[in-house]
């Protein structure tokens, strides 16, 4: 072992443990996906604003549903992926940096879209219910979900050894996920101002008219594409930044080693 | 505000959030790529 | 049985440290009382509102004090490598979790009794229906202590612990706040009859059970590599 | 920490703990959770609990009885019904734009004299059914898609 090589004691990941290919999808697929996402969103706008008829009771304001419901779906999807990735990280046989970074990337998307869901819901609630916000079970649990994963994202940014951070984050993500089914089922368990699920209701019988149902499904498909595209981009960024950080650390350690009078560095790692 | 106003606000909010997120990720990715050495396979 | 003995070793250790340092009694308790006073300052001109919202204010004060108590419970392990000592003690990690949570719960319960007296005094509230309030407070305390200890070890040893812990813990214990406040409102006859408190007590008990179990499981992995 | 001797009991422990969690969540769902955390009371519940409620604030939900809406000096007055019981609502302020005969509403406020509910906020509570205006009502929306 040469003095220039930092001791590998598991506190650092090392560039070598990072995936060589920072992309989840091949470059070409990602480009095609990006354009299809845009097209799907444009089609959704077309159908959402003009194609679908206004609702008999709620009128035009109901069109916000075509964004609100898909955004909520995306948030559920993102947190589910985070939990699966966290579980795979914690399971010793599948432990890999990939899962940790994927969980983080997905959780960030989840937080962004939970926030968007709350915002869109508020914009829907004002004309339809008459209020911006109600402290009913669905809204409250969704707000709690937002803050749970906001906490998770701060936990990801803490200065600590990489292994410790990844493990703690994975456990935190799994604990936070408990709230996701609570959010979805809250409208069935409790009497809320928020309406019950239209499509994924307990009877599995969508109570929605043809073109409106089509537009809603279009929204779900479009937002799923948004999710896959953004997850690929965000994951790539996570790998690159992790790589950069490791290299900067390596450089700093090498510099310290060069400065040190003794060939064996002591306490270069935290 | 009329229904149209709320719908316009909802659509532009969604567009703004998506665009801002894409741009932020793209800018950071570009920055990270530039800072990595040429021989890095991930570049 | 072994588990219980190990549990008590940890609890006794934490309580002994508290008895000698008096941080909870000397610092956390005055903090809680000040919070109660601040609420009174803010709401006093509005006569009659204080007794009505007293349960919510009481539990907010308890929650803020609990944050400090949990922070303190893990600050104990920071100095002089105490955590390594705990880790190498050979005690069962599940017992360690239960022990630390029990120590926090005992301290919190003492705090609640004193703050409760403060509420009665400052907010002009008549205590009644103790047979509802005590179980509700116990269940809420155990839930707070279990969730607090779980997130305490999650944030332990990190440089940003003080700021991270509230962000992680507050959303998690929001249901405890809600349940305990509603149970107290019903118990005190502010909103409904005392009997209406029982479903809330049930919910608080289940919350406590879930977080005790989660902490029991996760404490080992969280402590081992920290 | 984990010695080979403690492996086995630990796995058992994980199993038991997981079972406890599942049982607790199950009890939460099946048990009394639906009894509390109600955002509103129905008209019949509110009328039944009229005496014990006093002047505490709560929310009451029902449908606006058609033909009962009248303007008052402060806002609107109407009769709220859930098919079994009725209450008179005296609302202060402007009702929301979707307020009309037969609309499902949630009112926030407290009891006044007798069965008059003094409301200061009206919210419209919608169902989860979405239909365009022209679909005839003999045709259940559930069958259309």
Do B3 and A45 count as a contact with CB atoms less than 8 A apart? no
Do C203 and D52 count as a contact with CB atoms less than 8 A apart? no
DSSP string, B1-43: --HHHHHHHHHHHHHHHHHHHHHHHHHHHHHHHHHS-TT-TT-
Q: With an 8 Å CB cutoff and a minimum of 3 pairs, decide whether chains C and A touch.
A: yes
Give the domain ranges of chain B.
1-34
Across the interface, which of D21, D32, D52 has its CB nearest the CB of C193?
D52
**Quick one: angle between helices A65-90 and A97-128, nearest 10?**
160
Nearby residues of C82 by Cβ (< 8 Å), 6 or more positions away: C76
What's the pLDDT at A20?
77
The per-residue pLDDT for range A168-202, each reduced to its tens digit, is 999 999 988 888 888 887 877 777 888 887 776 66
* List of domains in chain A: 25-242 (1.20.120)
Q: Is D145 among the domain residues?
A: no
Q: Which of the residue ranges A1-5, A61-65, C5-9 would you say has the lowest mean pLDDT?
A: A1-5
pLDDT tier for residue B15 given thresholds of 50, 70 and 90:
very high
pLDDT over 90 for what percent of chain A?
A: 44
Mean pLDDT over the full length of chain C: 86
* CATH number, domain with residue D101: 2.40.50.140
User: Strand, helix or coil at A238?
Assistant: helix
The per-residue pLDDT for range A202-230, each reduced to its tens digit, is 666 667 778 888 899 999 999 999 999 99
Q: Is D131 among the domain residues?
A: no
Q: Chain B partners of A239 at a C-beta cutoff of 8 Å? A: 42
Do C214 and A175 count as a contact with CB atoms less than 8 A apart? yes
Q: Is D133 among the domain residues?
A: no
Chains that touch B (3 or more CB pairs under 8 A): A
The per-residue pLDDT for range C104-152, each reduced to its tens digit, is 999 999 999 999 999 888 888 888 878 889 999 999 999 999 999 999 9
Total residues found in chain A within this entry: 270
Q: Give the dihedral of Cα atoms A87, A90, A93, A97; nearest 10 deg.
A: 90
The per-residue pLDDT for range A114-156, each reduced to its tens digit, is 999 999 999 998 888 888 988 888 898 899 999 999 999 999 9
Q: Is D115 among the domain residues?
A: yes
Q: Best mutation site among C53, C217, C219, C225 for testing chain D: the one with the most D CBs within 10 Å?
A: C217
Domain of D30, in residue numbers:
4-34
The per-residue pLDDT for range C63-101, each reduced to its tens digit, is 999 999 998 888 887 777 777 777 778 788 888 999 999
Mean pLDDT over the full length of chain A: 85
Q: Rounded mean pLDDT of D87-110?
A: 87
Do C199 and D36 count as a contact with CB atoms less than 8 A apart? yes
- Other C-beta atoms closer than 10 Å to the C-beta of D20 total 17
pLDDT exceeds cutoff 90 at C49: no
Distance CA D58, CA D38 (A): 10
Q: Is D142 among the domain residues?
A: no
Tokens encoding A166: 């990844």
Question: In chain D, whose CA is at the least distance from the CA of C205?
Answer: D24
Total residues found in chain B within this entry: 43
Do C221 and A151 count as a contact with CB atoms less than 8 A apart? no
Per the CB < 8 A criterion, the answer to whether A106 and D96 are in contact is: no
Nearby residues of A73 by Cβ (< 8 Å), 6 or more positions away: A220, A223, A224
Chains that touch A (3 or more CB pairs under 8 A): B, C, D
Total of domains in chain D: 2
Q: Is D86 among the domain residues?
A: yes
A177 Cα to chain C: minimum distance (Å): 11
* ipTM associated with this complex: 0.83
Q: How far is CA C178 from the centre of its chain?
A: 14
Sign of the dihedral defined by the CA atoms of residues C92, C97, C102, C103, in that order: positive
């Amino acid at each position: 072992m040469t003095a220039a090589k930092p001791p590998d004691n598991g506190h650092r990941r090392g560039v070598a443990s990072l995936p060589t290919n920072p992309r989840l999808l091949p470059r070409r697929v990602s480009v095609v996906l990006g354009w299809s996402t845009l097209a799907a969103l444009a089609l959704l706008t077309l159908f959402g604003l003009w194609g679908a008829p206004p609702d008999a009771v709620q009128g035009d304001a109901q069109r916000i549903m075509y964004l609100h419901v898909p955004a909520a779906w995306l948030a559920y999807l993102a947190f589910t992926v985070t939990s699966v990735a966290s579980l795979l990280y914690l399971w010793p046989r599948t432990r890999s940096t990939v899962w940790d970074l994927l969980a983080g990337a997905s959780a960030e998307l989840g937080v962004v879209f939970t926030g968007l869901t709350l915002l869109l819901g508020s914009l829907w609630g004002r004309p339809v219910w008459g209020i911006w916000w109600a402290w009913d079970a669905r809204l409250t649990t969704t707000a709690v979900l937002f803050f749970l994963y906001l906490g998770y994202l701060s936990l990801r940014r803490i200065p600590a050894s990489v292994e410790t951070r990844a493990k703690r984050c994975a456990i935190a993500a799994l604990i936070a996920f408990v709230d996701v089914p609570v959010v979805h089922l809250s409208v069935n368990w409790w009497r809320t101002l928020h309406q019950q699920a239209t499509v994924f209701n307990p009877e599995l019988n969508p109570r929605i008219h043809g073109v409106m149902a089509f537009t809603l499904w279009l929204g779900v498909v479009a937002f799923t594409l948004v999710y896959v595209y953004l997850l690929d981009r965000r994951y790539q960024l996570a790998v690159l930044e992790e790589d950069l950080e490791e290299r900067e650390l390596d450089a700093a350690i090498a510099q310290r080693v060069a400065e040190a009078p003794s060939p064996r560095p002591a306490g270069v790692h935290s | 505000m009329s229904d149209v106003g709320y719908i316009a606000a909802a659509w532009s909010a969604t567009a703004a959030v998506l665009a801002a997120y894409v741009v932020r990720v793209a800018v950071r990715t570009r920055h990270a790529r530039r800072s990595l050495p040429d021989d890095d396979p991930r570049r | 049985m072994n588990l219980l003995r190990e549990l008590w070793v940890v609890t006794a250790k934490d309580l002994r440290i508290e008895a000698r340092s008096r941080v909870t009694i000397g610092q956390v308790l005055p903090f809680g009382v000040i919070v109660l006073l601040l609420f009174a300052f803010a709401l006093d001109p509005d006569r009659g509102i204080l007794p009505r919202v007293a349960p919510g204010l009481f539990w907010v004060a308890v929650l803020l004090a609990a944050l400090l108590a949990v922070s303190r419970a893990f600050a104990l392990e920071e100095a002089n490598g105490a955590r390594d000592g705990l880790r190498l003690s050979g005690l069962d990690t599940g017992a360690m979790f239960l022990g630390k949570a029990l120590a926090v719960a005992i301290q919190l319960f003492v705090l609640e009794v004193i703050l409760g007296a403060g509420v009665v005094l400052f907010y002009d509230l008549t205590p009644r229906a103790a047979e509802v309030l005590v179980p509700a407070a116990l269940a809420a305390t155990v839930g707070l202590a279990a969730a607090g200890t779980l997130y305490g070890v999650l944030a332990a040893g990190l440089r940003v612990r003080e700021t991270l812990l509230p962000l992680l813990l507050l959303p998690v214990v929001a249901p405890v706040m809600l349940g305990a406040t509603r149970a107290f409102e019903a118990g005190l006859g502010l909103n409904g009859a005392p009997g209406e408190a029982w479903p809330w007590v049930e919910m608080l008990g289940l919350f406590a059970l879930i977080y005790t179990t989660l902490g029991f499981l996760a404490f080992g992995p969280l402590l081992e590599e920290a | 920490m984990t010695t080979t001797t403690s492996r086995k009991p630990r796995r058992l422990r994980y199993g038991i703990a997981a079972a406890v969690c599942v049982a607790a969540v199950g009890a939460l769902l099946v048990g009394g959770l639906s009894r509390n955390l109600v955002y509103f009371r129905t008209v019949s519940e509110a009328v039944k609990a009229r005496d014990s409620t006093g002047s505490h604030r709560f929310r009451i939900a029902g449908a606006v009885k058609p033909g009962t809406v009248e303007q008052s000096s402060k806002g609107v007055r109407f009769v709220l019904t859930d098919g079994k019981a009725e209450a008179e609502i005296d609302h202060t302020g402007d009702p929301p734009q979707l307020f009309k005969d037969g609309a499902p509403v949630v009112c926030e406020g407290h009891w006044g004299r007798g069965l008059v509910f003094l409301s200061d906020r009206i919210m419209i509570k919608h169902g989860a059914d979405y239909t365009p205006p022209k679909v005839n009502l003999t045709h259940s929306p559930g069958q259309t898609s």
